[in-house]
A and B are shown apart, each in its own frame.
Chain A
Amino acid sequence: MSHATDLLPETTPTAAMIRTLGLIAMICGVIIVAAYQGTYAAVQENKRIAVERAVFKVIPRAKSIAEYAVSSAGELKKLGAGEAAPTGSIKFYAGYDEAARLAGIAAEGAAKGYADTVRILFAWDPAAASVTGFGVVAMRETPGIGDKILVDAEFLANFPLEAKPSDDRLVLAHEIRTVKHGSKTNPWEVDAIAGATITSRAIGKAINDTAQTLVPRLAPHLDKLKEKS
C-alpha cells in the first residue's frame, strides 16, 4: 500500500517540503525578532515602573529605589537595571526618601494559599526591626474571602510586625507565625482573619520564609545602605 502512495504524482518531493518549511521558518523568525526588538525597551520600562510602583506602595515614604542582592555568604551586590540576582542570593529593594536616606527595605515572599501560590512584596523597616506592611504581587484567592487580607482593618493592624535578627545573626529572633483569630499575644505573631485562615497563614509564611534569611544577612550591611549610593 505504501508503494502505491509513494508513486502517486501529487506527492511533494522532500526537497520542496524542506524548502517551504525553511522559507516559512525564516519569515516567522524575522517577524518574531522584529517584535521582540521593537517592544524590548517598552517592556523593560513597564517592568521597571511596575516594580517601582509596588515598592512605593509598601514603603510610602520612598521616592526612589535601588536593587540589591545579598548572597548566602552575606555579600552585598548592587544590581543594574534588568540584571538578575545570582543564584542562591536574595534580591531586595532599598527605598530612599527625598533626602536620599533609607526609608525601608522591600523584598518578595511567596507561599501556598487557598487556591494557588500567593506572592507578596513586604516592607521591612531596619530602624524599628519590623515588617511595616505588604502588597500582593499575584494571587488567585477567593474574591470576597481570601482577598480580605488587603482591606481587613484588624488584619492590617498586625503591622508593624516584629522581625529582628537573633543574637547570633543566623535566623530571626522569633519565627513569624500566623495564629488563630483573636489569639495574638506577641508582636511577631500574625492574627488570622476568621474565615480566611489559610490565606492569612500564607502571608505569615511568605514573610517568614524570606525574612528568616534576608534580615540576618542584611544586619551587617545596614550602615552601607543608609545613604543612597
Chain B
Amino acid sequence: MSQARNWDEFMEGIWRQNPVFVMVLGMCPTLAVTVSGINALSMGVATTFVLICSCGLVSLLRKLIPKEVRIATYIVIIATFVTVVDYVIQAVSLALYDALGAFIQLIVVNCIILGRAEAHASKTPPAPAMVNALGMGIGFTIGLLALGCVREILGAGTLFGISLFGAGFQPWVVMVLPPGGFFVLGAWLLLFAALERRKQRKLAEVRHV
C-alpha cells in the first residue's frame, strides 16, 4: 500500500467527493443541527466516528457477508455504532445531547455512511477503507462547520459562543431558523458552482492558446 494511494483515498472525501458540497448527501443532519459552530463540530465528529468504525467492520467482514443480506448487515452494523455514540455523548455532555436531539440517532439513515459501506468498504481492505472513511468524515465535518459558523455568525452574532460584534449587533434571526439552513447551503453551493465555472473557463482558454 503506497503512501500516495493512501493520500488519494484520504483526499477524495475532503475535496473531490466532498459529501456536503459535491455529492449533496446526508442533508438532514447537515441542515438540522448546524445552528451553531459547536453543534456542527460535534455532529461531524460523531458521524466521522460511526463512519470509520462501520467501514472498518464492514471491510473486515466483507468476504463473510453474503450479497443477498448485505444491506441488512450494513444497517445493523451502523445502528450498533450509532447506539454507542449516542451513549458516549450522553456520558460526555447532556447539554450537547439535548442540542443534537434525535439527530444523533438519525445518523443511522445518513446516506453517506451506507453509501460508503456499500460502494467502498465492501470492496476494499480495512486500512484504506478506514482512511477513506476518515477523509469522508472530515469532509463532512468541514461542510457542517462551513454551514454552522456562517449561520451562527449571522443569526446570533457569535462564533463558538464568543460574541463577535458587541452589544449593538442586531442578529439576523432567520439564519438560525429552518429557512436559514436552506439559504446558507444554497449560497455555498452557488459559490462552488461559480468557482467550478471559472476553472472550466480558464482551462478552456489555456487550451485555445
A120 to chain B, nearest CB (A): 14
Q: How far is the CA of A40 from the CA of B122 in the complex (A)?
A: 33
Assess A21 versus B72: contact at CB under 8 Å? Given A12-B66, A32-B80.
yes
Asked if B93 and A35 make an inter-chain contact with CB atoms under 8 angstroms apart, the answer reads no
Within 8 A of A (CB), among B64-85: 64-69, 72-73, 76-77, 79-81, 83-84
Residues of A within 8 A of B (CB-CB), count:
27
Which of A41-49, A89-97, A175-183, A193-201 is the interface stretch? A41-49
A-binding segment of B19-27, B106-114, B170-178: B170-178
> Which of B77, B79, B87, B98 has most chain A Cβ within 10 Å?
B87
Q: A23-B64, A143-B155 are in contact. Are A46 and B90 (CB under 8 A)?
A: yes
User: Which of chain B's residues have a CB closer than 8 A to the CB of A27?
Assistant: 57, 80
How many B residues, CB 8 Å from partner? 32
Asked if B66 contacts A35 (CB within 8 A), the reply is: no
Given A23-B64, A143-B155, check contact A39 B73 (CB 8 Å). Answer: no
Instruction: Collect the chain B residues with CB atoms within 8 Å of residue A28's CB.
Output: 76-77, 79-80
Judge whether B94 is part of the interface by a CB distance below 8 angstroms: yes
Contact (Cβ within 8 A) B91 A17: no
Do A24 and B66 touch across chains, with their CB atoms under 8 A apart? no
User: In the assembly, what is the distance between CA of A46 and CA of B97, in Å?
Assistant: 11
Whether, in the assembled complex, A31 has its beta carbon less than 8 Å from a beta carbon of chain B, the answer is: yes
* Inter-subunit contact A20/B171 (CB<8 Å): no
B28 interface residue, CB < 8 Å from A?
Answer: no
> For the complex, is B164 an interface residue (Cβ under 8 Å from A)?
no
The reply to whether the CB of B156 lies closer than 8 angstroms to some CB of chain A is: yes
Question: Is there a chain B Cβ closer than 8 Å to A4's Cβ?
Answer: no
The 6 tightest CB contacts between A and B, nearest first, are A12-B66, A42-B91, A28-B80, A39-B91, A35-B84, A39-B87
